[in-house]
C-alpha cells in the first residue's frame, strides 16, 4: 500500500495505491470506515464493473445502509437523464446530507457520481474507487465532475473533491485491451506537459506497460497522480496552471463530440488530439519535429491511434472542428486556448494563436 496526499486550500485527501486492495475485505473496510461520515452509503457503478467488484465492496460496508445505483456502461451514459435517475434513486432511498456516495468504476461513473455528490442536497461526500487506468491516473483525482451536453463534453458540472481515492492496480487485469490503451494516453500526457524524464521512462518501458507489469504500473500511477496532485494543489479551479492538464483535450473533445460519444474512447481521442497539439506546437512554440515523431512512435507502440480513420474524417472537417472547439470550456472571452509545448516537459497556455494556423494544422492532420 502506498499513499499520496492531495493538498488543496483548507483541506486534503489521500490517494491509496495498492495491488489487490479490492480482494482484501478487511483492509478495504478499515480504509472506508475512516471516510464515511454516517450510516448511509450509495454506490454508483455500471453493469460491467458490478459483476466483478460490487460484492466485495458491499461486504466491506457491512453494518451500513448500502444502496446501489447501477447504470449502463459507456460515455453516452454521462448525461442529464442518468444524472436525474441517480438523484431520483437517492431520494427514493431516503438518503440525507450525511450520506456518502461511492464511485465504483471508470471515468464516466466517477464524473457522474461526483457531480451528483456535488449537487445532492447542496453537496455530500464521495469516494472514488477507479477501476480503469484512465480513471486511476487522471479523472479520479482533482475534483472535476460533470455530465455531457449535446453541444459539448463536460459542459455541466462542478468542482467537488473526493474525500479519498482508492486505486487497486489489480483491477487493470480485467480491463479490455482497448480501454487499457486509452488510459495510457493520459499517462503519456504527463510526460509531455511536466516531466521529460518520465516520457523517456515510458519509451524505455513500453513493453512492460503493455504487459501490465505490476511494479511498472505502480510507479507510473504514482508518478501521474503526484504530477496531477501538485498541479491541482496550486490551482484547484483551473484559473492558471491547471489548464496544462488539458494538453490535447481541446482537439480530443472536438473529435469525441463530432464522431458521437463512444465512437472514439476518450483516451483515443486525446491521443489524436495530442498529436494535433504537437503539430501546432511546431508552428507556434518551436517544438522540434523529432519530438513529434517520438510522441507518435510512443503512442503507436502503446496501441493508440495517432490520426483519424477515413470514416471519422467525413465528420471531423476543419470547419466542424473550429465550430465545436469554439464551444469548448477552454474558450475565454471568445478566444480559444491551446496548450502547446516548446519541448518535452515544457508547455504553455496560449490564447493568441491565429485561426489560420489552427486550420492549417487540422488540414494536415
Cell of 78: 454521462
Task: For CA atoms 150, 153, 157, 162, give the dihedral sign.
Answer: positive
- Catalytic residues, which ones? 122, 144, 186, 228, 238, 242, 246, 249, 253, 266
Cell of 264: 472514439
The CA distance from 182 to 132, in Å, is 9
CA distances from 110 to 123, 214, 303 (A): 15, 24, 25
The CA distance from 351 to 214, in Å, is 40
The CA distance from 117 to 109, in Å, is 12
Cβ pair 185, 138 in contact under 8 A: no
The β-bridge relationship of strands 125-130 and 100-105 is parallel
* Residue labelled with grid coordinates 507556434: 284
Amino acid at each position: 500500500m502506498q499513499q499520496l496526499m492531495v493538498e488543496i486550500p483548507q483541506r486534503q485527501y489521500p490517494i491509496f495505491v495498492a495491488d489487490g486492495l479490492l480482494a482484501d475485505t478487511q483492509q478495504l473496510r478499515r480504509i472506508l470506515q475512516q471516510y464515511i461520515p454516517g450510516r448511509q452509503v450509495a454506490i454508483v457503478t455500471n453493469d460491467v464493473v458490478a459483476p466483478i467488484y460490487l460484492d466485495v465492496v458491499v461486504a466491506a460496508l457491512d453494518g451500513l445502509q448500502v444502496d446501489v445505483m447501477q447504470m449502463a456502461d459507456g460515455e453516452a451514459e454521462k448525461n442529464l437523464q442518468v444524472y436525474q435517475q441517480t438523484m431520483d434513486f437517492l431520494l427514493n432511498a431516503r438518503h440525507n446530507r450525511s450520506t456518502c456516495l461511492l464511485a465504483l468504476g471508470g471515468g464516466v461513473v466517477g464524473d457522474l457520481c461526483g457531480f451528483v455528490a456535488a449537487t445532492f442536497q447542496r453537496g455530500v461526500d464521495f469516494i472514488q474507487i477507479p477501476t480503469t487506468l484512465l480513471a486511476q491516473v487522471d479523472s479520479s483525482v482533482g475534483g472535476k465532475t460533470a455530465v455531457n451536453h449535446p453541444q459539448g463534453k463536460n459542459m455541466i458540472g462542478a468542482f467537488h473533491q473526493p474525500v479519498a481515492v482508492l486505486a487497486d492496480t489489480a483491477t487493470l487485469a480485467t480491463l479490455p485491451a482497448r480501454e487499457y490503451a486509452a488510459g495510457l494516453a493520459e499517462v503519456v500526457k504527463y510526460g509531455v506537459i511536466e516531466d521529460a524524464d518520465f516520457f523517456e521512462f515510458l519509451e524505455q518501458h513500453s513493453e512492460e506497460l503493455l504487459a501490465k507489469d505490476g511494479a511498472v504500473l505502480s510507479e507510473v500511477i504514482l508518478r501521474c497522480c503526484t504530477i496531477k496532485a501538485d498541479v491541482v494543489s496550486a490551482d484547484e479551479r483551473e484559473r492558471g496552471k491547471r489548464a496544462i492538464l488539458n494538453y490535447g483535450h481541446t482537439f480530443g473533445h472536438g473529435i469525441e463530440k463530432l464522431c458521437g460519444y463512444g465512437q472514439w474512447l476518450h483516451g483515443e481521442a486525446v491521443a489524436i488530439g495530442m498529436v494535433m497539439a504537437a503539430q501546432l506546437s511546431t508552428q507556434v512554440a518551436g517544438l522540434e519535429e523529432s519530438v513529434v515523431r517520438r510522441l507518435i512512435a510512443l503512442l503507436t507502440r502503446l496501441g493508440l491511434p495517432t490520426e483519424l480513420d477515413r470514416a471519422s474524417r467525413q465528420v471531423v472537417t476543419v470547419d466542424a472542428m473550429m465550430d465545436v472547439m469554439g464551444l469548448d470550456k477552454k474558450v475565454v472571452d471568445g478566444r480559444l486556448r491551446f496548450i502547446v509545448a516548446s519541448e518535452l516537459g515544457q508547455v504553455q497556455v496560449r490564447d493568441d494563436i491565429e485561426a489560420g494556423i489552427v486550420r492549417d494544422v487540422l488540414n494536415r492532420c
